[in-house]
């Protein structure tokens, strides 16, 4: 069966999944592909992986447009995603209202589940924040680094340690069973990232990719975007 091929940041996985049935009803196509660290997904596109649509950070989409790898006229913002804290369902919530309380939260955790600290938006930011707080070396042995935020959250949900926490994008926390959104990162440590979709040049299903972009960004799906963790 023919399918729309996607390369996307993990932040959009839950939203795309929620729209898959509607998309198939409109186009007859399933959605297949990969969701992961945005840097890795952009690398796959640049490496020639057959792709119809990409959903990445706005900065990466702009780079790909300059490289003539996506169709400029198709580009549309999906929404804003916060990097946030997570805990297992049933564990006490971790509240970090300032840098000092965030530092204390990381120091009191016996495991810290995060996405790729070199290729993912949230992981790169977490590494920066730990350095900013002056505790990168102190917590290095507790970092549980995974290829993307969704994988990190699944491992957090299954963790047997006493006081684990996670830090990744809010959409990946919301869409993972067994973990809950514990709170935003405090001022000075926060990160909100705009995710943007675009049709890939020479896409096999360009018209259908444009339909998915309209579903992802259209006014009619605002409630679904908000439920998935996307802001304006």
For tokens 């975007």, what's the residue? 225
Give the residue extent of every domain in the chain: 3-80+194-228, 81-184
Task: Report the DSSP pairing between strands 76-88 and 164-169.
Answer: antiparallel
pLDDT of residue 48: 96
How do the pLDDT tens digits run along the chain, 232 residues long? Answer: 589 999 999 999 999 999 999 999 999 999 999 999 999 999 999 999 999 999 999 999 999 999 999 999 999 999 999 999 999 999 999 989 999 999 999 999 999 999 999 989 999 999 999 999 999 999 999 999 999 999 999 999 999 999 999 999 999 999 999 999 999 999 999 999 999 999 999 999 999 999 999 999 998 888 889 988 898 7
pLDDT tens-digit readout, 83-108: 999 999 999 999 899 999 999 999 99
Contact 209/200 with Cβ under 8 angstroms?
yes
Q: To which H or E segment does residue 55 belong?
A: strand 53-57
**So what's the pLDDT on residue 78?**
96
pLDDT value of position 95 = 85
Q: Using an 8 Å Cβ cutoff, are 174 and 181 in contact?
A: yes
* SS3 call for 158: helix
The predicted pLDDT at position 180 comes to 98
Report the pLDDT value the prediction gives residue 231, as an integer from 0 to 100: 83
d(CA 157, CA 67): 39
Contact assessment for residue 79 and residue 232, using Cβ atoms and an 8 Å cutoff:
yes
Superfamily the domain 3-80+194-228 falls into? Periplasmic binding protein-like II (3.40.190.10)
Strands 53-57 and 3-9, bridge-based pairing: parallel
- Give the DSSP letter of residue 162: S
For the entire predicted model, the pTM comes to: 0.86
Quick one: pLDDT at residue 220?
A: 86
Encoding tokens for residue 127? 């590494």
Q: Which helix (H) or strand (E) holds 113?
A: strand 111-115
Predicted confidence at residue 174, as pLDDT, reads 95
Rounded CA separation 231/18 (Å):
16
The whole-number pLDDT of residue 68 equals: 98
Calculate the CA dihedral of residues 77, 79, 83, 85 and round it to 10 degrees: -160
Instruction: Decide the pairing of beta strands 53-57 and 179-184.
Output: unpaired
Give the integer Cα–Cα distance in Å for 44 and 62. 16
**Superfamily, domain 81-184:** Periplasmic binding protein-like II (3.40.190.10)
Q: Do the domains 81-184 and 3-80+194-228 match in fold? A: yes
Predicted confidence at residue 110, as pLDDT, reads 96
Q: Which ranges in 30-148 belong to alpha helices (H)? A: 38-46, 58-66, 99-108, 121-132, 136-139
32 and 3 in contact (C-beta within 8 Å)?
yes
């Amino acid at each position: 069966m023919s399918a729309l091929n996607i390369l996307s940041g993990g932040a959009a996985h839950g939203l795309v999944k929620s729209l898959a049935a509607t998309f198939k009803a409109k186009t007859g196509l399933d959605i297949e592909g990969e969701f992961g660290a945005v840097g890795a997904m952009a690398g796959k596109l640049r490496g020639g992986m057959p792709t119809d649509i990409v959903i990445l950070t706005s900065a990466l989409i702009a780079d790909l447009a300059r490289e003539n790898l996506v169709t400029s006229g198709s580009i549309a913002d999906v929404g804003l995603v916060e990097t946030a804290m997570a805990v297992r369902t049933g564990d006490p919530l971790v509240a970090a209202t300032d840098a000092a309380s965030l530092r204390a939260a990381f120091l009191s955790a016996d495991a810290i589940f995060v996405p790729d600290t070199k290729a993912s938006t949230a992981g790169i930011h977490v590494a920066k924040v730990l350095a900013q707080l002056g505790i990168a070396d102190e917590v290095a042995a507790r970092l549980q680094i995974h290829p993307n935020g969704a994988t990190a959250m699944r491992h957090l949900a299954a963790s047997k340690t006493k006081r684990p926490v996670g830090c990744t994008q809010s959409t990946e926390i919301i869409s993972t069973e067994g973990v809950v959104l514990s709170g935003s990162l405090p001022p000075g440590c926060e990160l909100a990232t705009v995710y943007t979709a675009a049709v890939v040049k020479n896409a096999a299903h360009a018209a259908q990719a444009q339909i998915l972009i309209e579903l992802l960004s259209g006014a009619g799906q605002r409630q679904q975007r908000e439920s998935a963790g996307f802001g304006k």
